[in-house]
Homo-oligomer: A and B are copies of this chain.
Amino acid sequence: MTAFDDLMAFQRETEALSQVAGRLGWDQETMMPRGAAEQRAEEMAAMESVLHARRTDPRIADWLDSAIPANEVETAHIREIRRAYDRAMKVPARLSAEIARVTSRAQGIWAGARAAEDPSAFLPILTQVIALRREEAACLSDGTGTSAYDALVDDYEPGARAKGIAAIFGEMRPRLVALREAIRASGKGTPALDGVFDETMQISLAAEIARAFGYDFNHGRIDRAVHPFSSGSGLDVRITTRTDPAHPLGALYSTLHEVGHGAYEQGVDPAYLLTPLGQGASMGVHESQSRIYENQLGRSRAFTGWLYGRMRDRFGDFGIANAEDFYRAVNAVETGFIRTEADEVHYNLHIFLRFDLEQALIAGDLSSRDLEAAWNDRFAADFGLTVGKPSDGFLQDVHWSVGLFGYFPTYSLGNVYAGCLNAAIRAARPDLDDRLAEGDPTPATDWLREALQRPGALRSPLATIEAATGAAPEPGPLLDYLEAKFADLYDL
Contacts and interface: CB of A to CB of B under 8 A. Distances in A.
Contacts of A221: 31, 33
A12 interface: yes
B274 A33 contact: no
A23 interface: yes
Which residue, of A17, A31, A46, has the highest number of chain B Cβ atoms within 10 A? A46
B274 A36 contact: no
Nearest to A20: B43
The binding surface of chain A is classed by DSSP as helix
B20 A20 contact: yes
Interface stretch (A212-220, A289-297, A370-378, A437-445): A212-220
Contact of A24 (B20, B36, B37, B219): B20
A121 to B, nearest CB: 19
Interface residues of A, number: 38
Interface in A220-240: 220-221, 234-236, 238
Nearest to A35: B218
Contact of A31 (B16, B17, B31, B234): B31
B218 A17 contact: no
B32 A236 contact: yes
A120 interface: no
A30 B26 CA distance: 14
B16 A46 contact: yes
Contacts of A234: 39
A145 to B, nearest CB: 37
A396 interface: no
A49 B238 CA distance: 25
B36 A236 contact: yes
B20 A46 contact: yes
Given A50-B50, A220-B33, A17 B43 contact: yes
B42 A274 contact: yes
A24 B47 CA distance: 13
A273 interface: yes
A216 B50 contact: no
A32 to B, nearest CB: 7
Interface in A56-77: none
Contacts of A17: 43, 46-47, 50
A88 to B, nearest CB: 17
A236 B40 contact: yes
B36 A219 contact: yes
A217 B32 CA distance: 10
Contacts of A16: 39, 42-43, 45-46
Contacts of A474: none
Contact of A35 (B45, B46, B219): B219
Contact of A236 (B39, B45, B50): B39
A19 B219 CA distance: 24
A23 B40 CA distance: 11
A46 B219 contact: no
A94 interface: no
A163 interface: no
A39 B273 contact: yes
A46 to B, nearest CB: 4
Which residue, of A13, A217, A220, A238, has the highest number of chain B Cβ atoms within 10 A? A13
Which residue, of A24, A32, A39, A234, has the highest number of chain B Cβ atoms within 10 A? A39
A480 interface: no
A27 interface: yes
Contacts of A238: 33
Closest CB pairs A-B (n = 3)? A36-B236, A35-B218, A16-B46
29 contacts: A13-B46, A13-B49, A16-B42, A16-B45, A16-B46, A17-B43, A17-B50, A20-B20, A20-B24, A20-B43, A20-B47, A23-B27, A27-B27, A31-B221, A32-B236, A33-B217, A33-B218, A33-B219, A33-B220, A33-B221, A34-B218, A36-B219, A36-B235, A39-B234, A39-B235, A39-B236, A39-B274, A40-B236, A42-B274
